[in-house]
Structure 1
Amino acid sequence: MKLLDYDKKTLLEIHAWKNPQRGWLDKAIDVVNKPLNAAGEAVLSTPVVGDAIQKAAEGLISVCNDAAQWSVRSEAVFEEFRSDGHNHIEQHSDIKTLRLEDIDKTVGWLAAKYKGIALAEGAGAGVAGIAGLAVDIPTLITLNLRAIGEYATYYGFDIAKQEERLFAYNILAFSSSPTDMSKNLAMAQLIKISQQVAKNQAWKQLEQHTFVQIIRQIASTLGIRLTKAKLAQAIPMTGAIVGGGFNAYFTSKVCEAAYYLYRERFLAELYGASIIEETVKPAKTYEPDYPDAFEGELME
């Protein structure tokens, strides 16, 4: 099938997003972040922060294991398509009959909605400092899982399926990655799942204990990463600003990743898995191995 002009342009945008050109601002941010990251590492070892991480990780694992907490009302999305004139949309598979250009119009300013919610939530939790992290981080992840689930539904993917839940968790891992290495590991997982689904291969259902273990590892790593990133909330008078600002920033990255990756997957099902841009080679297994995580399980 010949690529439509809009689809061709979209693929170029996706490829550019996956392979960004690092400018002087990116390098300057890296220089600024190094001492902040070192300070974060030191604070992480204190009993107060350690307890906050433990509670945050517990909350994250609970959120990630309970799909009902972040499920999307698919019918509301289908109704939105019908309101835009696509009267035949009754289920996920019907969305695959639309043009990407039409779907993008219906999606509209979805990211702005979630960034606004994240900003308000983060500002409120930021006032509580470190103690607020145990509530703030699981709430932030719940919000972003719902955002990912909504993007998935708009582009015709059923977030209730195991492969889609795993894809969603890896979007979070990718968006929270502090290094190129951890970002590449998450992208490798995303590419693996994208290609397998696009090739219409029968999904290899993971055993429940393996699936739970993967979710625990991702949740624990997220707890560490987000705690380090939000430690500035503990500083009096700046917590609300940093808390709200970081939550909006993180949510922006998650929505951006979901927007590009689900559009790529939509086009891959239309034109074939070969169009999926391999920034890195697909992962060999579904089990992540993050270099920035603590040794062992936080929950043990």
Structure 2
Amino acid sequence: MGDPSEYELAAWRDIQRFKGRPLSRVMRSAGEQVAAGAAELGKRATKYLENHPRAQSAVSRGQEIAAKGAHKVSAGARGAADALPDWSGAASQSIRKTVGRVSRAGLSSQRVVARHKKRGHDVASLADLRRLDLQQIDAVRGRAASWYYPAGAALSGAGAGLVISGGQLVIAASAGAAAAPSGGAIVGAFTADTAVVLGLASRAVGQVSLFYGYDPEEPAEKLFVMSVVNAGTASSATAKNAAMADISRLTQALFRGKTWKTLNEAVVARVSTQFAKAFGFRLTKEGLGKAVPAVGILVGGTLNWTTLEGIVDAAEVAYRRRFLLEKYPHLADEEASGSFPDVGPDVPDDADEAISVLGQLAEAGGPDLR
């Protein structure tokens, strides 16, 4: 198909250099660290007062509140860990249904094609977009998705943090045990927040896919969307490498035009269920800081913002890379090793469990592309 334009070559070089946003990388494991640190602080403060009865009897009401608050920080962080959703059953099913509703609403390939026609681009169908110059794609795509999806997720995360940790604030101030959020409330808040985040993530990646000429409703494209969400949320090197391998292999398989005879909606639905379960566990573990009074609201909002921000970035890189490789296969010969959103050096390898969408696909009865 000829040689890439200067604009496309510059975009390709940007893809090779892209390493993700520092804040997004740091926040992946911050929630769990905040919960662990707060629990330890609470235990130490409580133990000190228990071992010094004179000091305890001498403190003012304000100090008593602080002591009770420290104890509740510890209890809240531990309580969240004890009352997390069981992602093996109804919770993951609830997420999958929510994702299905949220991710499809309002996405239209006809609308994208119409926007290109309005700019004078010679296209008749979504597939025609893939032969345009990348500069033409960017002229229509815009950058709004890079902030309104993260903003929506941040609101959900802050709300979850309020539900999970808000009762602990009341306890610290009034010592009213009845104000504590129940295990059901914690489970419900985590489940609902995860459903919203995964729904927004799937919708964000689906919207990006449309702008590059790919239909997210196709069974094979749904696998690619899940792989991108996986890459955008992975925090450890092992988890990131597994996600990157999935994207690379799927890109090659889709480019070669595999028949996908064993791939149908039933297989994709089974993969979606397994992915929702694994994603729910990952997001819940990263979001344990939502259980810490007051800080939980900030952690919830910030973590969700950076999560969606990382997913949108991963989608941009993955689809731009795929778009250019399909037009100019020779670019693969000069591709830099490990070029994709990277993890920070301070993220331990055991901080995140690897998820392989292609592994789940093979287990669900689909083609084995590993």
Give the structure-1-normalised TM-score.
0.79
- Larger displacement relative to structure 2 (117-126 or 7-16): 117-126
Secondary structure of 2:263's counterpart equals coil
- Unpaired runs of 5+ in structure 2? 40-76, 165-185, 340-355, 362-370
> In the TM superposition, what whole-angstrom CA distance separates every residue of 1:152-186 from its partner, at most 9, and x where no partner exists?
00000011111110011111111221311011111
What is the Cα deviation at residue 231 of structure 1?
1.5
Matched, 1:70 2:142: no
Residues 285 and 186 of structure 1: CA distance in aligned 2, closer, same or farther (over 3 Å): closer
1:174-213 per-residue CA deviation (whole Å, 9 max, x = no partner) reads 1221311011111111101111122334345426554344
Amino acid at match of 1:253: G
The match for 1:106 is: 140
Structure 1 CA distance for aligned equivalents of residues 35 and 242 of structure 2: 20
2:118 to 83, 106, 117: 83
Deviation track 1:70-106 (CA, whole Å, cap 9, x = no partner) reads 12222222232233333x4342112123210111122
* 1:220 aligned residue (250, 257, 277): 277
The answer as to 2:263 corresponding to 1:206 is yes
Give the corresponding residue for 1:147.
204
- Please tell me the residue identity of whatever aligns with 1:13: D
Distance 1:81 1:112, change over 3 A: farther
Residue 7 of structure 1 aligns to a residue in which SS? helix
What is the identity, as a one-letter code, of the residue corresponding to 2:327? L
Partner residue, 1:158: 215
SS at match of 1:127: helix
Do the aligned residues in 2 keep the contact of 1:14 with 1:260 (CA within 8 Å)? yes
Change (3 A) 1:207 1:258: same
Paired residues in the alignment total 280
Query: 2 CA distance for matches of 1:118 and 1:34?
Result: 18
> Could you tell me which residue of structure 2 aligns to residue 7 of structure 1?
8
Name the CA distance, whole Å, in 2 between partners of 1:112 and 1:49.
29
Q: Which amino acid letter does the alignment assign opposite residue 338 of structure 2?
A: T
Partner SS state of residue 323, structure 2: helix
8 Å CA contact retained: 1:53, 1:224: no
Distance 1:240 1:287 in 2: 35
Rounded to whole Å, the distance in 1 between the matches of 2:29 and 2:306 is 19
Counterpart secondary structure, 2:283: helix
| 2:155 corresponds to 1:120 | yes
Is the 2:24–2:309 Cα contact (8 Å) retained in structure 1? Answer: no
Query: What letter matches 2:320 in structure 1?
Result: R
SS of alignment partner, residue 93 of structure 1: helix
Residues 107 and 154, structure 1, Cα contact 8 Å, conserved in 2? yes
Matched AA of 1:275: A
Q: What letter matches 2:12 in structure 1?
A: L
What letter matches 2:215 in structure 1? D
Alpha carbons 2:7, 2:135 under 8 Å: kept = yes
What residue in structure 1 maps to residue 170 of structure 2? none
Distance 1:50 1:60 in 2: 12
Which stretch has the larger CA shift, 182-191 or 210-219?
210-219
Give the whole-Å Cα distance in 2 for the aligned partners of 1:101 and 1:22: 24
Aligned to 2:190: 133
Seen in structure 2, the aligned counterparts of structure 1 residues 209 and 30 have a Cα distance that, compared at 3 Å, is: closer
1:296 corresponding residue in structure 2: none
Return closer, same or farther for 1:79/1:210 CA change in 2, 3 Å cut-off.
Answer: closer
Contact 2:232–2:312, Cα closer than 8 Å, also in 1: no
Find the counterpart in structure 1 of residue 241 from structure 2.
184
Structure 1 residues 62 and 29: alpha-carbon distance in aligned structure 2, compared to 1, 3 A threshold: closer
Tell me, yes or no, if structure 1 residue 96 matches structure 2 residue 130: yes
* Equivalent residue number for residue 61 of structure 2: none
Contact 1:37 / 1:228 at 8 angstroms: preserved in 2?
A: no
RMSD of aligned alpha carbons:
3.5
> Does the residue aligned with 2:215 lie in a helix, a strand or coil?
coil
1:171–1:254 Cα contact (<8 Å) kept: yes
Deviations 1:100-128 (A, max 9, x none): 01111221213122222222333233321
* TM-score (structure 2 length as normaliser): 0.65
Which residue number corresponds to residue 182 of structure 2?
none
Question: Identity of aligned pairs, percent?
Answer: 25
Distance 1:27 1:56 in 2: 27
